[in-house]
Amino acid sequence: MATKRESSKKGGFALAPITLSKPVKATDGFTNLVETPAMKKEKTIEPQEEQGSGSDVATKKREAKREVAEAANKTAPSVSARAGDAQNERSTKVKDNQSEKSENRTADFALTENELLRILDADSLDEIYELPDVLRASSLKLYATLIRLADSRGRTRVKNHELMSKAGIKGIATLYKQERWLMDLKLLEKKAKPGPHDGSSYVVYKLETLPLPAEIYEKFDEYLSNLK
């Protein structure tokens, strides 16, 4: 407010100048404000600050989404991984089914104790304590040769002359006779392959499929280990 100051003249007063803390906005002479350069600058800065603030918010949102996506990718298995797991599971099931079928086939194919005693012409298993009591004549060497040639599933394919040479069999008639004995014991399956190679495919079953005394199995394992 204006302050009253006593003048040098008697009975008179003079007005002191008014000092304003802020600049007075310019007017057009009436009541309308006139926009000054400073006011224009303030208006320009305010939208820029608002725009910059909005940009920061959008950037933070994008970063948050990216972090969520990366975390999901780390925790969730990929499509290829899931496909690999499914394939491994199917492969395991197939192997299990094949193993189960093989075991069932062996159980169905094997001889009972009574059938075995009848074939061996024995009254009891006590009469069987040597390998030749079961694998007679050249069938022992033939069976051992086929066991060594067979894969993990008991399969092998070999030409007749090669098999005879490995088993120490001189004539084809002897080979057929000993094959027949092994097939009667249900230790061997044979499928002849027609053609000039004159060979056969075999499925060889372990001696343990027969209900024999344990000492027979042990003696056969020892026989195999001594073969060259």
Domain boundaries, the chain: 113-226
In this structure, what token pair is assigned to residue 133? 């009591």
Does residue 95 register a pLDDT over 70?
Answer: no
What average pLDDT does the chain have?
76
User: Measuring CA to CA, how many Å separate 211 from each of 91, 113, 119?
Assistant: 33, 6, 13
Q: Cα separation of 5 and 15, whole Å?
A: 6
Tens-digit pLDDT profile for residues 9-26:
455 555 555 555 555 555
Is-contact 174 213, C-beta < 8 A?
no
Q: Is 56 helix (H, G, I), strand (E, B) or coil?
A: helix
Give the pTM: 0.56
pLDDT band, very low/low/confident/very high, at 4 (cuts 50, 70, 90) = very low
Is-contact 37 25, C-beta < 8 A?
no
User: Is the domain 113-226 a CATH 3.40.50.300 member?
Assistant: no
Burial of 133 (0-12, 13-18, 19+ CB in 10 A): middle
Is-contact 116 215, C-beta < 8 A?
no
Is-contact 188 143, C-beta < 8 A?
yes
Q: Find the distance separating the first CA and the last CA of the chain, reported in whole Å.
A: 127
The DSSP 8-state label assigned to residue 112 in this structure reads P
Does residue 71 register a pLDDT over 80?
Answer: no
Return the pLDDT at 104: 46
Tens-digit pLDDT profile for residues 129-167:
999 999 999 999 999 999 999 999 999 999 999 999 999
Return the pLDDT at 1: 47
